């Protein structure tokens, strides 16, 4: 039996175009001789639909989608995720379901059992969990249907759950497992996902067909990587990452497979490809066409600009250079060289006179006070205003270039360098930005060598360096990762050998600047714990103050 994996990129709530894509994939799978085609979790609506699920009209459109897909299921089974209504009064109004369609009929629907409520997930807010588990019979096979998280409590070892859905299905002796998924990307998750899926296959000794979403939904990026795992736990098929696709698998080949086709999963290439897709889909799905960045000659703006060009094309990215009296000649040259290397439009608007005008107007109010962070922030906000003026006039969406290290400790100016419609590298630590730059330059010099080599500086006062205000980035990033990603408190971090006063200082900076992060653009998520929906902290609090 030939089974098709349909790894698709949909838009949340765009039922018309989602339906068109799904029907096209069904037709293609049928033409290729598939007896069954499998789509991801909540494929009709896109994932995560969040509070759209609270609108009756939204659910009606999802139901209408299933009816159209049902009509297309003649001579091919369609397995697809969609929200379905809970017919009883008790519990939530909806289920997160996988529906099995064939010959114009609904054969079975299996509801999701394990509803994740952590990090970016909030499924228990909307869905009722399953209480019934039944294999589906098709062409002489018994099939275990499952949805994403339902495979993540093998042996009841996950403390978040008390049920293992597969243990409910195994007494019915299924021949293989289908798992429809919406598993978001982070640079550790692809390897962890395969490990979990292999453990399931090892436990149950039957093949597993796993289909994941691909594409970015605002800040959340889905990497695809749909899988077929053979009974001996070898990866029979691993579909491309960050690309749509349709692949036909013969079940008989899987049962006899011993060849491992698992792809490499190096961190920096994965982050690079995820960010490019994140920018591309953010613009494409909203309908934006062109981007603008403030190109300073520094590393962060250089990497962001290169990623934007890769995602949108050189004709759709422009940059603005805004040197001040504190900008070095090298910075301006590096910025110009990068723009020329990329073949993009660049304009230079010096801010020295604008800044001088500000100081003249404020002098009566500032009289007797020394130059400090206030004057630095004025420069950042001048640049932000100039960039937003071009954005408004020409429709270029401003990309924010702040890295995660800076965002964590508040090393940025609200309404200045923290402005923008999308934060591209806000989940990439400074040390990782250096790695990205070297990866970008792996074949030839795109980012000027001097940009990578010079000490980082905001250039807002004479001779300024980031190290004047922050610990060295290798130390800072290590502490930040322990606190943010690993949720280690001060005692645990100090026990790892870090200076207590340094740890206290860094953690206080993180907590005190929560108010800034609440006012910044959506951050493309590439780590296990990104700023945004996945990290919910109070603004007003006294912890570590």
pLDDT beyond 90 at 147:
yes
* Residue 492 counted as domain residue: no
pLDDT at 279: 98
Say yes or no: 290 and 190 in one domain. Answer: no
* Residue 522 counted as domain residue: no
CATH code for the domain in which residue 192 is found = 3.60.110.10
54 catalytic per annotation: no
Say yes or no: 223 and 100 in one domain. Answer: yes
Say yes or no: 163 and 282 in one domain. Answer: no
Domain of 430? 271-469
Say yes or no: 251 and 275 in one domain. Answer: no
Q: What is the mean pLDDT of residues 111-139?
A: 96
Q: What is the mean pLDDT of residues 162-170?
A: 95
pLDDT in tens, 271-319: 999 999 999 999 999 999 999 999 999 999 999 999 999 999 999 999 9
pLDDT at 257: 73
pLDDT beyond 90 at 440:
yes
Say yes or no: 204 and 299 in one domain. Answer: no
From 61, 112, 404, 430, active-site residue: 112
pLDDT beyond 80 at 458:
no
Say yes or no: 21 and 106 in one domain. Answer: yes
Say yes or no: 195 and 66 in one domain. Answer: yes
From 41, 123, 129, 376, active-site residue: 41
pLDDT in tens, 173-213: 999 999 999 999 999 999 999 999 999 999 999 999 999 99
252 catalytic per annotation: no
pLDDT at 455: 83
pLDDT at 216: 98
CATH code for the domain in which residue 359 is found = 3.40.50.620
* Residue 58 counted as domain residue: yes
Say yes or no: 182 and 325 in one domain. Answer: no
Least confident of 101-115, 244-258, 337-351, 486-500: 244-258
* Residue 98 counted as domain residue: yes
Token reading at 375: 């004057």
* Residue 537 counted as domain residue: no
Q: How far is CA 284 from CA 47, 364, 544, in A?
A: 17, 48, 42
Closest CA to 417 of 448, 464, 394, 385: 385
From 123, 148, 198, 432, active-site residue: 148
Q: What is the mean pLDDT of residues 409-428?
A: 96
State the chain's mean pLDDT as an integer. 95
pLDDT at 542: 83
Quickly state the pLDDT bin for 545 (edges 50, 70, 90): low
* Residue 38 counted as domain residue: yes
Based on the structure, what is the number of domains in the chain?
A: 2
Task: For the chain, give the longest Cα–Cα distance.
Answer: 88
What sign for the dihedral angle of Cα 358, 364, 365, 367? positive
pLDDT in tens, 29-61: 999 999 999 999 999 999 999 999 999 999 999
Say yes or no: 241 and 289 in one domain. Answer: no
pLDDT beyond 80 at 485:
yes
Helices 430-440 and 299-312, packing angle to 10 deg = 50
- CA gap 312, 269 in Å, rounded: 18
Looking at the chain, how many residues does it have?
Answer: 545
Say yes or no: 183 and 328 in one domain. Answer: no
- Whether 106 and 122 have beta carbons less than 8 Å apart is answered as no
pLDDT at 156: 80
- CA gap 131, 451 in Å, rounded: 58
pLDDT at 399: 98
What sign for the dihedral angle of Cα 483, 489, 490, 495? negative
469, 488, 507 — which closes off a domain?
Answer: 469
Say yes or no: 278 and 248 in one domain. Answer: no
112 catalytic per annotation: yes
203, 235, 257 — which closes off a domain?
Answer: 257
pLDDT in tens, 68-78: 999 999 999 99
pLDDT beyond 80 at 460:
no
424, 441, 469 — which closes off a domain?
Answer: 469
pLDDT beyond 90 at 508:
yes
Q: What is the mean pLDDT of residues 349-363?
A: 96
* Residue 220 counted as domain residue: yes
* Residue 435 counted as domain residue: yes
Say yes or no: 51 and 73 in one domain. Answer: yes
């Amino acid at each position: 039996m030939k089974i098709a994996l349909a790894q698709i990129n949909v838009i949340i709530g765009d039922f018309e175009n989602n339906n068109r894509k799904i029907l096209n994939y069904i037709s293609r799978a049928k033409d290729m001789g598939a007896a069954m085609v499998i789509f991801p979790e909540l494929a009709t609506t896109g994932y995560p639909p969040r509070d759209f699920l609270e609108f009756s009209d939204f659910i009606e459109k999802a139901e209408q989608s299933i009816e159209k897909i049902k009509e297309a299921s003649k001579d091919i089974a369609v397995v697809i995720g969609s929200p379905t209504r809970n017919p009883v009064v008790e519990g939530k109004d909806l289920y997160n379901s996988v529906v099995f369609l064939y010959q114009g009929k609904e054969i079975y629907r299996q509801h999701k059992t394990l509803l994740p409520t952590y990090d970016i997930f909030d499924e228990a807010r909307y869905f009722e969990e399953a209480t019934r588990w039944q294999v589906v019979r098709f062409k002489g096979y018994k099939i275990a249907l499952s949805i994403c998280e339902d495979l993540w409590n093998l042996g009841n070892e996950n403390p978040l759950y008390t049920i293992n859905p597969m243990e409910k299905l195994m007494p019915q002796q299924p021949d293989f497992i289908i798992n429809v998924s919406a598993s978001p990307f982070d640079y550790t998750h692809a390897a962890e996902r395969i490990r979990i899926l292999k453990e399931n296959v090892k436990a149950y000794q039957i093949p597993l067909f796993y289909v994941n979403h691909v594409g970015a939904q605002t800040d959340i990026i889905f990497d695809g990587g749909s899988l077929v795992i053979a009974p001996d736990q070898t990866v029979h098929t691993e579909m491309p990452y960050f690309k749509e696709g349709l692949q036909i698998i013969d079940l008989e080949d899987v049962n006899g497979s011993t060849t491992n086709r698992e792809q490499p999963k190096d961190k920096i290439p994965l982050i690079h490809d995820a960010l490019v897709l994140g920018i591309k889909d953010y613009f494409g799905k909203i309908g934006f066409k062109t981007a603008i960045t403030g190109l300073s000659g520094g590393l962060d703006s250089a990497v962001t600009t290169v990623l934007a060009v890769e995602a949108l094309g050189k004709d759709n990215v422009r940059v603005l250079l805004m040197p001040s009296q504190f900008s070095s000649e090298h910075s301006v040259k590096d910025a110009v060289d990068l723009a020329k290397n990329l073949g993009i439009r660049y304009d230079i608007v010096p801010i020295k006179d604008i800044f001088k005008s500000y100081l003249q107007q404020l002098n009566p109010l500032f009289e007797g006070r020394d130059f400090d962070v206030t004057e630095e922030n004025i420069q950042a906000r001048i640049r932000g205003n100039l960039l937003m003026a071009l954005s408004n006039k020409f429709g270029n969406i401003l990309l924010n270039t702040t890295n995660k290290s800076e965002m964590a400790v508040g090393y940025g100016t609200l309404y200045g360098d923290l402005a923008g419609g999308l934060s591209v590298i806000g989940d990439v630590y400074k040390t990782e930005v250096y790695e990205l730059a070297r990866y970008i330059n792996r074949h030839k010099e795109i980012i000027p060598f001097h940009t990578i080599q010079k000490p980082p500086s905001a250039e807002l006062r004479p001779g300024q360096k980031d190290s004047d205000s922050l610990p060295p980035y290798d130390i800072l990033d290590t502490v930040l990762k322990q606190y943010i990603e690993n949720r280690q408190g001060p005692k645990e971090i100090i026990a790892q050998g870090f200076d207590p006063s340094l740890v206290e200082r860094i953690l206080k900076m993180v907590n005190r600047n929560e108010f800034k992060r609440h006012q910044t653009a959506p951050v493309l998520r590439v780590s296990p714990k990104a700023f945004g929906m996945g990290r919910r902290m109070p603004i007003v609090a006294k912890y570590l103050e």
